[in-house]
Amino acid sequence: MLDRIRGFSLALTLAAGWAGGAAAQGAKPPFVFTGIPDQDESRLVERFGKVATYLESKLGVPVRYIPVKNYPAAVTAFTNGQVQLAWFGGFTGVQARKAVPGSQAIAQGAEDAAFKTYLIANAGSGLTRGADFPNAIEGRSFTFGSRASTSGRLMPEYFIRQAFPGRTPEQIFSRVGFSGDHSRTIQLVQSGAFEVGAVDYSVWDLDTKAGKVDPKAVAVIWESPTYPDYQWTVRGDVDATYGAGFTETLKAALIGIADPAILEPFGRSKFIPVTNAAYDPLIAVGKSTGLLD
């Protein structure tokens, strides 16, 4: 983890140094982006490395991807202007745009307009799948994903509070944890470290295809109602730095991604246009759960 943080700092230092030298020569600085670390690191490197190569071919400026250590760090990098673009979850996108007026959600996966959470359970729990919310999870040990995750914390906590009015997760479950990312949630429930967990359905599908899910040890017990989730959000000052119309060129590039080699690591069929208003329901949920001021 320390090496990863050092790598992040080095990338920012190099980008800043390049920008200073470039400014002196009248050239445009690298366009830098990041993404929330919602899965294991090897998958993130594969996913975002391909995006960087693709965007560089479309934007006419150097494009760099830098990793961050957690969800809040992605929001901080965006807020501080260390990155100009980020692949955010629904809730982290709301947080980032609230902190940076003028920033815009410009593209989401086709699947993100109607996203969903899976509640998963260890086989030893005896819990089985059903259409209704599984009230039998009460008294069990439960893990969310990241504290700032839409599908791994915000929305499942909302649905849990609806099922058990007037009570917090700490009052409902015997033990509450935060795994940090969806792949880790699956592994913790699969191992029996927690009986139940909340996970992004697309990561569940990707990990299942990758052979990382043992169906004899862990299974989906409930599928949530749908809600808006992930999106690409860009800062409002990029046109001033990279030229008039840059935001629209970037949006067209993202929507134009058709290569399965880029889309498959996201678990998305394509990217489609979106606006900030699409995420208004998450603002309401964030306020109702006390997770957003």
Q: Which residues pair with residue 34 across a beta bridge? A: 86
| Strand-strand pairing, 104-109 and 231-234 | antiparallel
Among candidate residues 149, 181, 174, the one with its CA nearest the CA of residue 38: 181
CA 118 to chain centre: 15
Q: Is residue 34 a part of any domain in this protein?
A: yes
Percent of the chain past pLDDT 70, that is, above it, reads 91
**C-alpha closest to that of 193 among 205, 203, 185:** 185
Give the span between the Cα atoms of 94 and 114, in whole angstroms. 17
In a domain, 64, yes or no: yes
Q: Give residue 293's pLDDT.
A: 83
Query: Residue 205 and residue 182: Cα distance in Å, rounded?
Result: 11
Per-residue pLDDT, 142: 98
Q: 264 lies in a domain?
A: yes
User: Is the domain of 31 the same as that of 169?
Assistant: no
Do 272 and 173 belong to one domain? no
Residues 207 and 236 in one domain: no
Model pLDDT, residue 195: 98
Stretch (H or E) spanning 253: helix 246-255
Q: What is the pLDDT of residue 26?
A: 57
> Could you tell me the sign of the dihedral formed by the alpha carbons of 7, 212, 154, 86, in that order?
positive
Note whether residue 293 is domain-resident.
no
**Domain span including residue 218:** 116-223
Contact status, residue 87 vs residue 35, Cβ threshold 8 Å: yes
Distance between CA atoms of residues 254 and 39, nearest Å:
21
How much is the pLDDT for 45? Answer: 87
CATH of the domain at 178: 3.40.190.10
Do 202 and 146 have their domain in common?
Answer: yes
Residue 212 and residue 182 share a domain: yes
178 and 137 in a common domain: yes
**Does 12 share its domain with 98?**
yes
In the chain, how many domains are there?
2
Q: Are residues 195 and 217 in the same domain?
A: yes
How far apart, in whole angstroms, are the C-alpha atoms of residue 262 and residue 258? 8
The two beta strands, 175-178 and 85-88, are unpaired
Query: At CA 215, angle to CA 156 and CA 44, rounded to 5?
Result: 60
Domain stops at, among 196, 223, 250 = 223
Find tokens 């592994």 and name the residue.
187
- Give the pLDDT confidence score for residue 155 in this predicted structure: 97
Say what the pLDDT of residue 120 is. 98
Q: Count H helices, E strands: the chain?
A: 12, 11
Residue 62 lies in a domain: yes
Q: What is the pLDDT of residues 109-128, one digit of tens each?
A: 999 999 999 999 999 999 99
In the chain, which stretches have pLDDT less than 70? 1-26
Do 121 and 147 lie in one domain? The reply is yes
